Amino acid sequence: MKYNRMVQTGWDVSVIALGTWVFGGTNWGETPQRELVDAVHAAQDQGINLIDTAPVYGNGKAEKIIGIALKKRRDAFYIATKCGLVGKGKQTRHDLSRASIFREIDGSLERLRTDHVDLYQCHWPDPDTPIEETMTALRDLQKAGKIRAIGVSNFDADLLKRSCARTAVATYQGQYSLLARALENEILPFVQKNEMGFLAYGALGGGILTGKYRQIPRFAANDARSFFYPFYQSEDQKSQKRLERLAGLKDRLQPLNQVALNWVRQKPGVLSVIAGCRNRQQVRQNAGAADWDLTPDQTQKLEVLDL
Selecting among 57, 78, 176, 229, the annotated active-site residue is 57
The helix (H) or strand (E) run that includes residue 16 is strand 16-19
The whole-angstrom separation of Cα 299 and Cα 137 is: 42
177 DSSP 8-state letter: B
Contacts 24+ apart (CB under 8 A), 179-187: 179/205, 179/208, 179/209, 179/231, 179/242, 179/307, 180/205, 186/157, 187/157, 187/160
Tell me whether residue 57 is one of the annotated catalytic residues.
yes
Strands 78-83 vs 117-122: parallel, antiparallel or unpaired = parallel
Count CB atoms within 10 A of the CB of residue 281: 12
The helix (H) or strand (E) run that includes residue 189 is helix 187-193
| Contact call for residues 84 and 124 (beta carbons, < 8 A) | yes
Phi and psi (nearest 5°) for 113?
60, 45
**Cβ-Cβ contacts under 8 Å for 118 (sequence gap 6 or more):** 11, 78, 79, 80, 147, 148, 149
| Contact call for residues 192 and 274 (beta carbons, < 8 A) | no
C-alpha closest to that of 93 among 63, 64, 125, 70: 125
| Contact call for residues 272 and 289 (beta carbons, < 8 A) | no
How far is C-alpha 223 from the chain's CA centre? 17
The whole-angstrom separation of Cα 224 and Cα 58 is: 12
The whole-angstrom separation of Cα 50 and Cα 77 is: 5
The whole-angstrom separation of Cα 170 and Cα 96 is: 18
State the catalytic residues.
Answer: 57
